[in-house]
Structure 1
Amino acid sequence: MIVKNEAQALPRCLKSVKNVVDEVIVLDTGSTDKTPQIAKKLGAKIYKYEWCNDFSAARNEALKYVTGDWVLILDADETLNPEVIPSLREVLKMEEYLLINLLRQEIGAKQSPYSLVSRLFRNHPGIRFDRPYHALVDDSITEIIAREPEWQIGRLPGTAIFHTGYQQTAIAKHNKYERAQKAMEAFLAQHPDEPYVCSKLGALYVEIGKLPQGIELLRRGLSAKDADEQVLYELHYHLGIAYTRTDDINKAISQYNSAIKLLIDPMLKLGAYNNLGNLFKETGNLTGAKAAYETAVKLDPNFATGYFNLGTTLKAMGALAEAIKAYRRAILLQPDYAQAYQNLGVLLLKSGYIKDSKVAFQNAITLYKQQDPEIAKELFEGLKDLGVAIEN
């Protein structure tokens, strides 16, 4: 691990690997809080490192202190999923693997609910991290396998890592966009056509509203000849987002369709299917939207947003009973889903289930009071005008 001022998040992360790993190496890059003391108390070996705005340099420094046969990389805002520990222990016994890719769930992310990360690998002297931001071992892995073809790359089934760092509060707290932009722009100046950095920096530009710059970079990345399938997916996916924001809906749909056709882990396509469903729904293609959302929830049966979107589409199609089931599923998966409760209340009221609708509306108002009091007030007044009595 490399850390800085992670006193709040660190205990949860380290407790997730307790009794799983043999040693914990924590490289502290200048904490001013109690991060080092907390890490030490939880059994970690602490080393100091002066931050140089280069994540790869820091990660490579941390690797120098590893004594075990395998290396697992975690950030403080990540935890290891306990459900994968048995399969993780089994896969480490397989002698042919040099690297094992892990599926990471992006908790609270607006886009891309899942990503595949190269975070579990052998303590091989040739493995090193590259790129100053979004540090990766993939390039060195490719070089090693070219010299030592007996090695293979594996993939651990199931979601291995939970990541909360893409939640808006976490991004703001750590100035993630600013740090990422600075590091990647410096790298891009030296590697202007590298598809990976075109993808990452292009996506960042789109996220912060620099749409022309983002689109230019993403298109530049697609014109490169050495992009792998996963990078191509990200380029098409983020172009879909960019064209949606510029109201080029047909171009956006085309990009998502191109992304979906690529031969990558199906779970990684979840965001593309969901966004494609949104565009179909917006343009009145309800059949296409329904199919896209159904594929999304088939890929991830725990995707609450997918069930909510499916419910909205079914409602528009007049399939009220099916829509009610979809909203109930969304709520089961995400109990604080205020909008799902509100929409469920509307459908129950339309279907004549007055008592149940009042319960749903009451739950929606209670949750909105915590999340957005203004919406809670508007919903209460609207129901009052309709003659639906709800406790305030």
Structure 2
Amino acid sequence: MTLSLCMIVKNEAASLSRCLKSVEGWVDEMIIVDTGSTDNTPSIAQSFGAKVYNYAWNNDFAAARNFGLQYVQSDWVLVLDADEVLNPEVKPQLQGILQQENLLAVTLLRHEVGAQQSPYSLLSRLFRNHPHIRFQRPYHELIDDCVLALQKQESHWQVGHIPEVAIEHFGYQVDAIATRNKHQRACEIMAAALANNPNDAYLCSKLGALYVDMGQVEPGMHLLQQGLNLDPPEASIRYELHYHLGHTYARCQQAALALHHYQQAVQQKLPGLLKLGAYNNWANLLQDRGQYEQASQQYQQIIALQPDWAVGYYNLGLTRRAMGDLSGAIAAYRQAIQKQPDYAEAYQNLGVALFKQGQLQASQQAFSRAIALHRQHNNIAAAKQLQQGVAELGLPDFPYA
């Protein structure tokens, strides 16, 4: 079976090489649709042997992706974005799964690197080169509806799944978000799509959550509730609606309603990793309400579910410190740093806990590293505030490196 990479790009010179290197020599062809780059994105793609096609952007991601699909010559299609890479450890599994005759598509687990809320997502990014499989929706585009329709028409088709992380996504890192102001464009595209299809619970979820993030809480909450009222059959959509409502009610200081929706979210029949955000926010609410023992137990359950998630250890550290267990807090912060060495907040809180224990030299070192990382992440205000706080603690001057 042959495999094609199919992508849409625009001004991705900073990240495209990393993406293409992750599949170089593994895919049989690369199809790149350029939607109007003004940098050297096309030449970078061509240096990897990619076939580059120009497309006039029309605010429709599905249309752009489908434009590229018409040029695919292989049996299967892999879709990536420029800020993603394919995990090399899953390639042997993927090669084996592509040989299965009745598979129509494969859902892939994506790690949202740097995301503090929902660090994993499940996407249909690997599918047969079938004329009836095309992307739908102009934003947050998916092939899922087409796959489901084909399964209903021809019952032999199946959808596969690989439980390990297949894609690493770097678009949620703080620096990446700061350089891309996409919210207004996303709102306009999704609002127009929802006006044409008001019964689309998926769009209600995505647009409602975006409104809330932009501070438009009332219309956002209305859309999220509208999506729930549509009673979507997909567990993933129900999860997102409950999750975002939980987040919204927590933001509005309505803890009881927030807890209700987080509890509803985790009851959805999905892989545990996809529900980490709801489990974590639920635990955060318990901590905010002073229910430290219950919060600590939940954070430990989160860590057991995903031992590599630094945020779980960090939050456990906050809870242990609130309980007066400085040794437990220090151990948790150090675990967070081991999992994520550039975790500025973990170093900062480690410094506080060490200071309270009287370990002044170790505290100095932790604060120094936290300040350096804040600066490295361009969080200058946090660095200055911490440096002033350290001085107020009476610690002697030390190098911030």
TM-score class normalised by the smaller sequence: over 0.9
Is 1:194 aligned to 2:200, yes or no?
yes
2:210 aligns with: 204
1:389 aligns with: 396
CA gap of 1:360–1:66, structure 2 versus 1, over 3 A, is same
Is 1:177 aligned to 2:183, yes or no?
yes
CA gap of 1:379–1:180, structure 2 versus 1, over 3 A, is closer
Counterpart of 1:86 (choices 78, 92, 108) is 92
CA drift of 1:246 comes to: 1.2
Contact in 2 for aligned 1:195/1:227 (Cα 8 Å): no
CA drift of 1:98 comes to: 0.8
CA drift of 1:379 comes to: 3.6
Map 1:169-318 onto structure 2 (within 5 A): 169-318=175-324
Is 1:340 aligned to 2:350, yes or no?
no
Counterpart of 2:29 (choices 10, 23, 43) is 23
Given residue 261 of structure 2, which amino acid in structure 1 is its aligned partner?
A: Q
Is 1:11 aligned to 2:17, yes or no?
yes
Structure 1: stretches of 5+ with no match in the other structure:
none
Map 1:54-133 onto structure 2 (within 5 A): 54-133=60-139
Given residue 76 of structure 2, which amino acid in structure 1 is its aligned partner?
A: W
Distance in 2 between the 1:40 and 1:374 partners?
Answer: 42
Distance in 2 between the 1:390 and 1:303 partners?
Answer: 33
Distance in 2 between the 1:125 and 1:369 partners?
Answer: 50
Write out per-residue CA displacement over residues 281-329 of structure 1, whole angstroms, 9 at most, x where no aligned residue: 1111112211221222222211111111100101111222221111101
Distance in 1 between the 2:373 and 2:177 partners?
Answer: 24
Contact in 2 for aligned 1:171/1:177 (Cα 8 Å): no
Q: Count the aligned residue pairs.
A: 392
SS in 2 for 1:21: coil
CA drift of 1:342 comes to: 2.3
Contact in 1 for aligned 2:113/2:173 (Cα 8 Å): yes
SS in 1 for 2:29: coil
User: Identity of counterpart residues, as a percentage?
Assistant: 53
CA drift of 1:89 comes to: 1.4
1:356 aligns with: 362
Distance in 1 between the 2:178 and 2:233 partners?
Answer: 31
Distance in 1 between the 2:381 and 2:62 partners?
Answer: 45
Moved more, 6-15 or 342-351: 342-351
CA drift of 1:171 comes to: 3.9
SS in 1 for 2:161: strand
Contact in 1 for aligned 2:116/2:311 (Cα 8 Å): no
**TM-score normalised over the length of structure 2:** 0.93
Distance in 1 between the 2:374 and 2:67 partners?
Answer: 47
CA drift of 1:238 comes to: 0.5
Contact in 1 for aligned 2:111/2:121 (Cα 8 Å): yes
CA gap of 1:346–1:142, structure 2 versus 1, over 3 A, is same
CA drift of 1:233 comes to: 0.2
Distance in 1 between the 2:125 and 2:224 partners?
Answer: 25
CA gap of 1:374–1:144, structure 2 versus 1, over 3 A, is closer
Write out per-residue CA displacement over residues 6-65 of structure 1, whole angstroms, 9 at most, x where no aligned residue: 122211111111111110000111222211111111110111221121111111111111
Distance in 2 between the 1:378 and 1:143 partners?
Answer: 56
Contact in 2 for aligned 1:229/1:263 (Cα 8 Å): yes
Given residue 335 of structure 2, which amino acid in structure 1 is its aligned partner?
A: R
Structure 2: stretches of 5+ with no match in the other structure:
1-6
Contact in 1 for aligned 2:364/2:398 (Cα 8 Å): no
